[in-house]
């Protein structure tokens, strides 16, 4: 049974500033950090596009319609928020070049055009830069302790509530499917999205338990550790050796996106993960019948926000920061505001 749980705050000892986000699209700016730069040559046009107040699916449909190409010919690295101004790469076949003048307008601006040899694929990005205005934030509440705690300890890498759909509908569908109930989802993308929401929910539960037990900055025997900011994974066999590496930001512990091929923990760490599955009523074999849709992986339990900065403006508090691909700005904003921060679209491609 799914419980509507409130995620714990890393900075729970400090008051929040309150406030409001996304009152206008320009209050929330997102700029994609690509995994690579286009080569300038090839059979695919790479368009550096700015969209305003436009959902990801509607955005793709508009590109297809205005360029008169099939939706499947469009490549993007990640989904972006609707109520925002976002900038990202989009790839289309070179044959669409003559239609580019018709792409401009009504929420879409083409800022740059180049070429590359391959179609842009989901996940081909390193992260996103955010510039967010919090209107109505209180200047009477100390801000520095919250920002310092995030800078020093890292941000819990929870999935934001928008990952689970409006009123949790995406999660409910995926959960029922995972638990063996008869659910009809014909679209393969939607089937993966819903199942991944169930994985994401369980990831959040494991991380919540870790934080509740005061183990957010602790390496456990048998933990899976991943090199930071990117790199291979390995299982801890010597806490005395790996805790200093964790403290030095060389590695981070990685939580489960449960699946048949999830990199396994051992010992205490494995017992804790199994306990969450048991408490949630999920049999281990539930993941086996979905094949590649639920192959499983690991996700960093925390991310470091090296460039987190804040400045007061006449309209409110302006935060700027960069997050890795798949991490949620709303989680960081929740730490500052201490309130439920709703989003509209998943910011990046589906994990799992």
Interval 129-155: pLDDT, tens: 999 999 999 999 999 999 999 999 999
Report whether 226 contacts 243 (CB < 8 A): no
CA distance linking residue 43 with residue 26, whole number of Å:
34
Average pLDDT value for the chain: 93
Q: Is the pLDDT of residue 287 over 50?
A: yes
Q: What is the pLDDT of residue 291?
A: 87
Q: Residues 162-168: what's their mean pLDDT?
A: 90
DSSP 8-state assignment for residue 114: E
Burial of 140 (C-beta count, 10 Å sphere; 0-12/13-18/19+):
exposed
pLDDT digits (tens, 9 = 90+) for 83-99: 999 999 999 999 999 99
| Residue 48, strand partner residues | 89, 112
The dihedrals phi and psi of 214, each to the nearest 5 degrees, come to: 70, 30
Query: Cα angle at 106 between 105 and 109, to 5 degrees?
Result: 45
Q: Is the pLDDT of residue 235 over 50?
A: yes
Report whether 209 contacts 301 (CB < 8 A): no
Q: What CATH code would you report for 153-303?
A: 3.30.2350.20
Q: What is the pLDDT of residue 185?
A: 81
Q: Residues 186-202: what's their mean pLDDT?
A: 90
Task: Write down the residue that tokens 């669409």 correspond to.
Answer: 96
E strand or H helix at 275 = helix 267-280
Q: Residues 62-67: what's their mean pLDDT?
A: 96
CA distance linking residue 228 with residue 348, whole number of Å:
20
Whole-prediction pTM value? 0.93
CA distance linking residue 231 with residue 137, whole number of Å:
38
Q: What is the pLDDT of residue 348?
A: 41
Sign for the pseudo-dihedral over CA of 254, 9, 229, 343: positive
Q: Active-site residue 238, yes or no?
A: no
Q: Give the start-to-end residue ranges of the domains of the chain.
A: 36-122, 153-303
Q: What is the pLDDT of residue 79?
A: 86
Residue 35: which of 91, 73, 97, 107 has the closest Cα?
91
Calculate what percentage of the chain has a pLDDT beyond 90: 86
Q: What is the pLDDT of residue 154?
A: 98
Q: Any idea which architecture 36-122 has in CATH? A: 2-Layer Sandwich (3.30)
Sign for the pseudo-dihedral over CA of 202, 205, 211, 214: negative
Confidence of residue 186 (pLDDT cuts 50, 70, 90): confident
Q: Is the pLDDT of residue 286 over 90?
A: yes
Report whether 16 contacts 132 (CB < 8 A): no
From 27, 53, 81, 148, the catalytic residue: 81
Calculate what percentage of the chain has a pLDDT beyond 70: 96
CA distance linking residue 84 with residue 132, whole number of Å:
9
Task: Write down the residue that tokens 């050796």 correspond to.
Answer: 241
Residue 8: which of 156, 152, 150, 168 has the closest Cα?
156
Residue 33: which of 112, 125, 157 has the closest Cα?
125
Q: What is the pLDDT of residue 346?
A: 44
Q: How many helices (H) and strands (E) does the chain have?
A: 7, 14
Other CB atoms within 10 Å distance of the CB of residue 122: 15
Residue 108: which of 61, 49, 65 has the closest Cα?
49
Q: Is the pLDDT of residue 284 over 90?
A: no
Q: What is the pLDDT of residue 341?
A: 78
Confidence of residue 187 (pLDDT cuts 50, 70, 90): confident
Residue 305: which of 154, 98, 101 has the closest Cα?
154
Q: What is the pLDDT of residue 183?
A: 85
Q: Residues 175-203: what's their mean pLDDT?
A: 90
Report whether 201 contacts 282 (CB < 8 A): no
**Is 153-303 the same fold as 36-122?**
yes
Q: Is the pLDDT of residue 347 over 50?
A: no
Q: Is the pLDDT of residue 293 over 70?
A: yes
Q: What is the pLDDT of residue 55?
A: 92
The token duo for 336 is 């500052």
């Amino acid at each position: 049974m799914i419980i509507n749980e409130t995620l714990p705050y890393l900075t729970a000892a400090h008051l929040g500033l309150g406030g409001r986000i996304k009152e206008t699209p320009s209050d929330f700016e997102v700029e994609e950090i690509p995994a690579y730069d286009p080569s300038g040559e090839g059979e695919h046009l790479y368009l550096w596009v700015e969209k305003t107040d436009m959902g990801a699916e509607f955005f793709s449909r508009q590109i297809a319609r205005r360029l008169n190409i099939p939706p499947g010919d469009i490549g993007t690295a990640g989904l972006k928020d609707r109520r925002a101004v976002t900038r990202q790469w989009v790839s289309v076949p070179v044959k669409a070049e003559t239609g580019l003048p018709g792409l401009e307008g009504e929420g879409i601006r083409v800022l740059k055009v180049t070429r590359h040899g391959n179609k842009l694929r989901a996940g081909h990005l390193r992260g996103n830069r955010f510039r967010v205005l919090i209107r109505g934030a209180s200047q009477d509440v100390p801000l520095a302790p919250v920002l310092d705690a995030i800078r020093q300890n890292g941000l819990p890498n929870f999935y934001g509530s928008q990952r689970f759909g409006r009123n949790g509908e995406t999660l409910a569908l995926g959960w029922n499917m995972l638990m063996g109930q008869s659910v009809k989802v014909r679209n393969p993308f939607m089937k993966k999205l819903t199942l991944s929401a169930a994985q994401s929910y369980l990831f959040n539960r494991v991380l919540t338990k870790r934080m509740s037990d005061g183990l957010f900055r602790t390496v456990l025997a048998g933990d899976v550790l991943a090199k930071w900011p990117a790199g291979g994974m390995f299982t801890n066999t010597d806490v005395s050796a790996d805790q200093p590496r964790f403290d030095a930001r060389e590695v981070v512990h990685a939580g489960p996106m449960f699946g048949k091929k999830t990199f396994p923990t051992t010992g205490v760490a494995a017992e804790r993960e199994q306990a969450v599955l048991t408490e949630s009523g999920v049999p281990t074999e539930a993941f086996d019948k979905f094949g590649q849709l639920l192959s499983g992986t690991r996700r960093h339990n925390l991310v470091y926000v090296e460039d987190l900065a804040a400045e007061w403006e006449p309209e409110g508090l302006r935060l700027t920061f960069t997050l890795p691909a798949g991490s949620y700005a709303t989680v960081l904003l929740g730490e500052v505001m201490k309130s439920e921060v709703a989003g509209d679209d998943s910011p990046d491609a589906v994990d799992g």
